[in-house]
Amino acid sequence: MTEIQNPILDVQGLEKHFGGITAIGGLDMRVGEGITGLIGPNGAGKTTFFNCVTGALTPDAGRVAFADGDITGKRPSAVAQEGLVRTFQIPRELPEMTVRENLQLAPRGQSGERLAQAWLRGDEFADDERRVREKAAEMAEFLEIDHVLDAKAGTLSGGQRKLLELARVLLTEPDMILLDEPLAGVNPTLEQKILDRIHDLESQGYSFLFIEHDIDVIMETCERVVVMHQGQVLTSGEPADVKSDDRVIEAYLGEEV
């Protein structure tokens, strides 16, 4: 197992129990810059780990540090303010609103969010609204969903909904994004589009922790891979090393490697 010397995300001794079931049992994980893959069988605790890190669940023990700040047990909105955001296996768009409206809700710190500004509606408010509209349109173009900007979000295909969710997350201007199966249910064309955009974003300085069940995608996309098993980290390292690890082969990959 190789360690990250200067992690962005540093999790130590994380525990989460549901009654008598231990979902996460004293997990240690350090994640650095770039694209890191997170693999493991169903029930390994990957999504529970995401939920504990991003505030959807409160850990029973342990510490979560992000960019040198302690975010343990903070609410999801507070974690997002620190620059750590996540997507979900099932996208959570607002289906009755248009794609454009969904995107324009995403940026942080809008003037209209402050009561005084909402009443005053002065030049700052107008400038802010214009900036948000422009950023939403630019992000839609970058992710190639600009042609559905005025469609109801609930009418989008599964792949388009994944792209919308990624766009909304990016508009919060995060430092790291936790991707929970972003390719699940996506057709091959859109899958490649999402992967291409992830690589583009990495080149712009974004970092990702990426849950995905397609081992080939993980090995081809990620610079580092972490393997979870029964709420613990089994091993981590470069894709070639992880793929050839006998424990990983036996537990997860079988003959496909």
Position 93 scores a pLDDT of 84
Question: Would you list the domain boundaries of the chain?
Answer: 9-93+172-256, 95-155
Position 256 scores a pLDDT of 46
Beta bridge partners of 12: 63
Q: How is residue 92 written in tokens?
A: 């959570």
Three-state secondary structure string covering the chain: CCCCCCCCEEEEEEEEEECCEEEEEEEEEEECCCEEEEECCCCCCHHHHHHHHHCCCCCCEEEEEECCEECCCCCHHHHHHCCEEECCCCCCCCCCCEHHHHHHCCCCCCHHHCHHHHHHCCHHHHHHHHHHHHHHHHHHHHCCCHHHCCCEHHHCCHHHHHHHHHHHHHCCCCCEEEEECCCCCCCHHHHHHHHHHHHHHHHCCCEEEEECCCHHHHHHHCCEEEEEECCEEEEEECHHHHHCCHHHHHHHHHHHC
pLDDT tens for the chain, 257 residues long, are 556 778 999 999 999 999 989 999 999 999 999 999 999 888 889 999 999 999 999 999 999 999 989 999 999 989 999 999 998 877 778 889 999 999 988 775 544 444 455 555 555 666 777 888 888 899 899 888 999 999 999 999 888 888 898 899 888 889 999 999 888 878 888 888 889 989 999 999 999 999 988 888 998 999 999 999 889 999 999 998 888 888 887 766 544 44
Cα dihedral across residues 85, 13, 49, 257: positive or negative: positive
CATH number of 9-93+172-256: 3.40.50.300
Position 257 scores a pLDDT of 41
Smallest CA-to-CA distance from 217 within 89, 39, 33 is with 39
Distance, CA of 257 to CA of 41 (rounded, Å) = 16
Which pTM value belongs to this model? 0.84
Decide: residue 198, CB within 10 A, 0-12 exposed, 13-18 middle, 19+ buried.
buried
| Beta carbons of 197 and 166 less than 8 angstroms apart | yes
Beta bridge partners of 237: 225
Position 204 scores a pLDDT of 92
| Beta carbons of 78 and 170 less than 8 angstroms apart | no
| Beta carbons of 80 and 172 less than 8 angstroms apart | yes
